[in-house]
Structure 1
């Protein structure tokens, strides 16, 4: 019987390298990219649509709609949101299918918030796991 232990790392089950380009992005970089995108969406909603910062009611959905639109358009076109690109990250397709459809599913689940804060055994947020995507280093 062998007592050898293999060191496991996030993304190993997906066939990704342990570090460097193409490796799974660490949680802190993914979270920081998300905050950059959310702050940008808040500013756009405020200045372009007059949504009051921190407003409740129906106005609270304006920044969320802007956030979703930024995500779908930028990830479909460039494989990264502005916040992800700023931090050297990108969204990678790991399951077969239509990438634009996967981006829409990923974004819808991200906007629900709970799937994004829970993670699967690979270290991906549930929104990425269910959409067949992963965020990696560029």
Structure 2
């Protein structure tokens, strides 16, 4: 059954056995360049952008809760600085600093509120955000029809 359906546990050998052409770089099947602007964002840049957004969210929440620690209020501020900028501008403040942005796979200009909200919720769950395919797209990108690219 695993041979027929394949699995994320099967690894690269499952792709070779499936008869699908192998990619030479991440994003090739999507028609993206190998390097430079418009190519799939590397893991390090994505992590830097995410960490910067978390720090910013904690600082913003801390402004409203000082002298107490922000606690769960930082989750609300993180959701706001994640959903709204991605929906309307395609990047969060941390992504802007890291030089990456979110684009729709179908070529539309705006990510939009529903897709940005779905990405945010799935990122908060964390597991969908760290399981990637050969295109460098995690589950939250695949389910929302987006990809994270270099600027």
Provide the TM-score with structure 1 as the length reference. Answer: 0.83
CA drift of 1:117 comes to: 1.3
Equivalent residue for 1:112, pick from 125, 137, 140: 125
Give the number of equivalent residue pairs: 128
1:36-115 equivalences in 2 (<5 Å): 36-50=52-66, 52=69, 59=71, 61-95=72-106, 99-115=112-128
Secondary structure (helix, strand or coil) at the match of 1:134 reads strand
Counterpart position of 2:5:
none
Give the whole-Å Cα distance in 1 for the aligned partners of 2:130 and 2:57. Answer: 19
Asked if residue 127 in structure 1 is aligned to residue 143 in structure 2, the reply is no
Give the whole-Å Cα distance in 2 for the aligned partners of 1:106 and 1:127. Answer: 5
Indicate if the aligned counterparts of 1:120 and 1:129 stay in contact, CA closer than 8 A. Answer: no
Provide the TM-score with structure 2 as the length reference. Answer: 0.76
Give the whole-Å Cα distance in 2 for the aligned partners of 1:45 and 1:125. Answer: 28
Counterpart position of 2:32:
16
Gaps of 5+ in 2: 1-20
CA drift of 1:120 comes to: 2.1
Gaps of 5+ in 1: 54-58
